Structure 1
Amino acid sequence: MDWENIGIDSDLARAVRENFGFKSPTPVQKAGIPHFIGNKDICVESCTGSGKTLTFLLPIFHKLIKSGFPKCVFALIISPSRELANQTYEVAEKLSKNFPLASLQCLIGGHSREDDIFQMATFDKNIVIGTPGRIADLLEAGDVNFKEVEILILDEADRLLDMGFKEKITWIIESLPRQRRTGLFSATMTTDVQSLIKAGLRNPIYINVKVTKNDTNHSQALPKGLTNYYSIFPTYLEKLPALARFLYKNPDKKVIVFFATCASTNFYLYVLERLEKLGNLKFFRLHGKMKQSQREKIYKEFSEAPCAVLLTTDLIARGIDFPDINWIVQFDPPQNPDFFVHRIGRTARANREGDSMLFLTKHEETYINYLTMKNIEFSNIKLKRFKILDKLKDIVLEDREGYEKAQAAFVAYVRYYKEHNLNYIFQFKHLELGFLAQGFCLLRLPRVSEILGKNIENFEQSEINPDDIAYKDPQKEERRQKLLIEKEEMIARKKEIKIKALRDKKGQNKRKRSRSEKRDAKKQSMVEDFDELGREESIISKIRKGKMNSEEVKSYIAENPHIKTLFRKKKH
Structure 2
Amino acid sequence: MLVAFRRAGVSHALRASRALAVKTTSQRAAQWIIPSATPITQTLRSSFHTSPVRFSVSAAQEAENAVPTTGSQELVNFSQLQGKIDPQFVDNITRRMKITTMTDVQSKTIAYTLDGSDCLGQAKTGTGKTLAFLVPVVQKVIAGLPASRFAKQQMRAGDIRAIIISPTRELAEQIANEAQRLVAGTGVQVQTAVGGTQKAMHLRKCQNEGCHILVGTPGRLYDVLSSPYSGIRAPNLSAFVLDECDRLLDDGFSQDIQQIAELLPDPTKVDRQTLMFSATMNRDVLRLVNTMMKPGFKNVKTIDENEAPTHMSVPQRTVIMNGYENGFASILEMVKNYRANYLARRTEDPELRPFKAIIYLNTTKLTSLAFQIFDRLLNVPGDFRSGHPFGNMPLYEIHSKLTQAARTRTSQQFRAAREGILFSSDVTARGMDYPDVTHVIQLGCPRDRETYIHRLGRTARAHKKGEGWLYLHKDEKVYAQAKLAGLPLKIDRSLETATKDMVNEETNEHIEQIKNAAQDIHPDERTEAVTTFGNHAEGVLGRYAMEGMKNFAIHGLGLKEAPYFRGGMQRSPGRSGNRMLGGGGGSRGGYGSRDNYGSRDNYGSRDNNRSRGNYGSRDNYGSRDNYGSRDHNRSRGNYGSRDNNGSRGRGGVSNAMFGI
Normalised by the size of structure 1, how large is the TM-score? Answer: 0.72
What residue number does 1:436 align with? 552
Are 1:210 and 2:303 an aligned pair? yes
Compute the displacement of 1:394 (Å).
Answer: 4.6
From 120, 131, 138, the counterpart of 2:224: 138
What residue number does 1:445 align with? 562
Are the equivalent residues in 1 in contact too, given 2:105–2:129 (CA < 8 A)? yes
What residue number does 1:303 align with? 415
What residue number does 1:79 align with? 166
Instruction: Name the CA shift for 1:46/1:136 in 2 (closer, same or farther; >3 Å).
Output: same
Are 1:115 and 2:201 an aligned pair? yes
What residue number does 1:191 align with? 283
From 592, 597, 603, the counterpart of 1:467: 592
Q: Deviations over 1:66-109 (max 9, x none)?
A: 43468532211111122111111111111112x42222112223
Q: Equivalent pairs: percent with the same residue?
A: 24
Q: Which runs of 5 or more structure 2 residues have no equivalent in the other structure? A: 1-75, 150-158, 340-353, 380-388, 498-507, 574-580, 604-635, 642-660
What residue number does 1:551 align with? none
Hey, what's the Cα distance between the residues in 2 that align with 1:222 and 1:211?
15
Hey, what's the Cα distance between the residues in 1 that align with 2:638 and 2:79?
65
Hey, what's the Cα distance between the residues in 1 that align with 2:110 and 2:411?
29
Are the equivalent residues in 2 in contact too, given 1:44–1:184 (CA < 8 A)? no
Hey, what's the Cα distance between the residues in 2 that align with 1:445 and 1:372?
30
Q: Deviations over 1:260-318 (max 9, x none)?
A: 00110121122222221335242211100112222223223323332211101100111
Compute the displacement of 1:207 (Å).
Answer: 4.2
Aligned residue type for 2:518: V
Are the equivalent residues in 1 in contact too, given 2:448–2:483 (CA < 8 A)? no
Secondary structure of 2:240's counterpart equals: strand
Q: Deviations over 1:220-246 (max 9, x none)?
A: 25597x433222223223222210111
CA radius of gyration, larger in: 1
Are 1:381 and 2:492 an aligned pair? yes
Are 1:256 and 2:358 an aligned pair? yes
Mean CA deviation greater in 464-473 or 285-294: 464-473
Are the equivalent residues in 2 in contact too, given 1:241–1:385 (CA < 8 A)? no
What residue number does 1:409 align with? 529
Hey, what's the Cα distance between the residues in 2 that align with 1:453 and 1:89?
48
Are the equivalent residues in 2 in contact too, given 1:407–1:446 (CA < 8 A)? yes
Greater helix fraction, Structure 1 or Structure 2: 1
Aligned residue type for 1:406: R
Compute the displacement of 1:380 (Å).
Answer: 3.2
What residue number does 1:353 align with? 465
Q: Deviations over 1:248-267 (max 9, x none)?
A: 23444111100000110121
Mean CA deviation greater in 170-179 or 439-448: 439-448
Are the equivalent residues in 1 in contact too, given 2:378–2:517 (CA < 8 A)? no
Are 1:289 and 2:378 an aligned pair? no
Instruction: Name the CA shift for 1:27/1:222 in 2 (closer, same or farther; >3 Å).
Output: farther
Instruction: Name the CA shift for 1:271/1:114 in 2 (closer, same or farther; >3 Å).
Output: closer
Compute the displacement of 1:335 (Å).
Answer: 1.6
From 418, 442, 449, the counterpart of 2:538: 418
Compute the displacement of 1:356 (Å).
Answer: 1.8
Instruction: Name the CA shift for 1:274/1:113 in 2 (closer, same or farther; >3 Å).
Output: closer
Are the equivalent residues in 1 in contact too, given 2:162–2:240 (CA < 8 A)? yes
Q: Which runs of 5 or more structure 1 residues have no equivalent in the other structure? A: 420-425, 481-572
Hey, what's the Cα distance between the residues in 1 that align with 2:360 and 2:146?
42
Aligned residue type for 2:449: P
**What count of residue pairs does the alignment treat as equivalent?**
461
Hey, what's the Cα distance between the residues in 1 that align with 2:374 and 2:255?
42
Aligned residue type for 2:110: I
Hey, what's the Cα distance between the residues in 2 that align with 1:448 and 1:300?
37
What residue number does 1:201 align with? 293
Compute the displacement of 1:120 (Å).
Answer: 2.7
Q: Deviations over 1:193-224 (max 9, x none)?
A: 23322322223444444356xxxx56425597
Q: Deviations over 1:410-469 (max 9, x none)?
A: 1111212335xxxxxx352343424333334332232213333579xxx85379763322
What residue number does 1:511 align with? none
Hey, what's the Cα distance between the residues in 2 that align with 1:476 and 1:218?
53
Secondary structure of 2:560's counterpart equals: coil
Secondary structure of 2:566's counterpart equals: coil
Hey, what's the Cα distance between the residues in 1 that align with 2:204 and 2:80?
41
What residue number does 1:21 align with? 98
Q: Deviations over 1:520-559 (max 9, x none)?
A: xxxxxxxxxxxxxxxxxxxxxxxxxxxxxxxxxxxxxxxx
From 188, 199, 206, the counterpart of 1:102: 188
Are the equivalent residues in 2 in contact too, given 1:45–1:209 (CA < 8 A)? yes
Instruction: Name the CA shift for 1:330/1:209 in 2 (closer, same or farther; >3 Å).
Output: farther
Are the equivalent residues in 2 in contact too, given 1:69–1:101 (CA < 8 A)? no
What residue number does 2:237 align with? 149
Hey, what's the Cα distance between the residues in 1 that align with 2:462 and 2:146?
29
Hey, what's the Cα distance between the residues in 1 that align with 2:172 and 2:146?
22
From 367, 374, 380, the counterpart of 1:272: 374
Compute the displacement of 1:24 (Å).
Answer: 2.1
From 233, 241, 255, the counterpart of 2:329: 241
Are the equivalent residues in 1 in contact too, given 2:197–2:403 (CA < 8 A)? no
Mean CA deviation greater in 430-439 or 242-251: 430-439
What residue number does 2:518 align with? 396
Secondary structure of 2:214's counterpart equals: strand
Hey, what's the Cα distance between the residues in 1 that align with 2:516 and 2:471?
25
What residue number does 2:132 align with? 55
Hey, what's the Cα distance between the residues in 1 that align with 2:435 and 2:310?
20
Normalised by the size of structure 2, how large is the TM-score? Answer: 0.63
Instruction: Name the CA shift for 1:180/1:230 in 2 (closer, same or farther; >3 Å).
Output: same
Aligned residue type for 2:536: Y
Compute the displacement of 1:340 (Å).
Answer: 1.6
Are the equivalent residues in 1 in contact too, given 2:94–2:100 (CA < 8 A)? yes
Compute the displacement of 1:19 (Å).
Answer: 2.7
Compute the displacement of 1:14 (Å).
Answer: 4.3
